[in-house]
Amino acid sequence: MADRQPATQLQAVAWVPDNDPERPWDEAADLAADWIWERSQVEGVKPLLVTKTFQNARGIGSLEEIAREGSQATPQGKQRFEHGPVLAYVPDERTLRLALNLARGYSLVVVETVSFPLSEWAADARAINLLDGSTNCSALPDNVKADLDHAVFFGGNNGWTGTHEKEHARNHLLRHVRAGCLAPEQAASYVMAKGVSDKGAKRLRALLEKAR
């Protein structure tokens, strides 16, 4: 079965990069919460908080408010939710995919964690950087992006489950990883922006981490 999903259509996208180890987590969360509440008023639907676990929101007032006034979803949860504006807090691949699906037709803001860098996803989505109001450009060289696009075309539909798809990805991408031009986490972020599923992105990241 194909492991790739079409890109999600969103009204507006923003993010808070995790680029300062001294920045308090509640400060990043507050920036994202203020933005998603504004979008909630425009779109006429209460916001939804998406986190890896329910515990991720505890102790951060702005996130607890969204969970209380709107709702909170995690990848492990069984409850079904209507689409609406979403704040995704420090997501991994699976959590980001859930957020993208729930935000379809509405707006999405993401608070990044350094363990899953989102700069390439944010660049493709033209997400507003809430720290400075900019729209980031991809940091990857054109030849690296071309090889990533080729890898997505060849193996993204199946999420790099087959031997040939894995070997193709190694042949085209490992040289960039070894040269310091591409991190496995960047590759995962980039391919998710191209519609690859969370499972496929995690497989590609593991493939590149294992082989470098």
Q: What pLDDT does 212 receive?
A: 63
Residues 53 and 155 in one domain: no
Percent of the chain at pLDDT > 70 equals 95
Range 152-187 burial, b when 16+ CB lie within 10 A, else e: beebbbbbbeeeebbebbbebbeebbeeebbbbbbb
Domain span holding position 75: 12-129
At which of 102, 129, 156 does a domain end? 129
pLDDT for 211 beyond 70: no
Distance, CA of 66 to CA of 32 (rounded, Å): 11
Residues 86 and 113 in one domain: yes
Distance, CA of 48 to CA of 210 (rounded, Å): 36
φ, ψ (nearest 5 deg) of residue 49: -95, 130
User: Could you tell me the CATH number of the domain that includes residue 122?
Assistant: 3.40.50
At which of 74, 102, 129 does a domain end? 129
- One-letter amino acid at 137 equals C
Tell whether the torsion through CA atoms of 117, 5, 145 and 124 is positive or negative: negative
pLDDT for 136 beyond 90: no
The answer to whether residue 95 is domain-embedded is yes
The answer to whether residue 26 is domain-embedded is yes
State pLDDT tens for residues 22-54. 999 999 999 999 999 999 999 999 999 999 999
Residues 24 and 100 in one domain: yes
Residues 149 and 94 in one domain: no
Residues 161 and 115 in one domain: no
The answer to whether residue 134 is domain-embedded is no
pTM of the entire predicted model: 0.85
Distance, CA of 205 to CA of 103 (rounded, Å): 25
The answer to whether residue 166 is domain-embedded is yes
Number of domains in the chain: 2
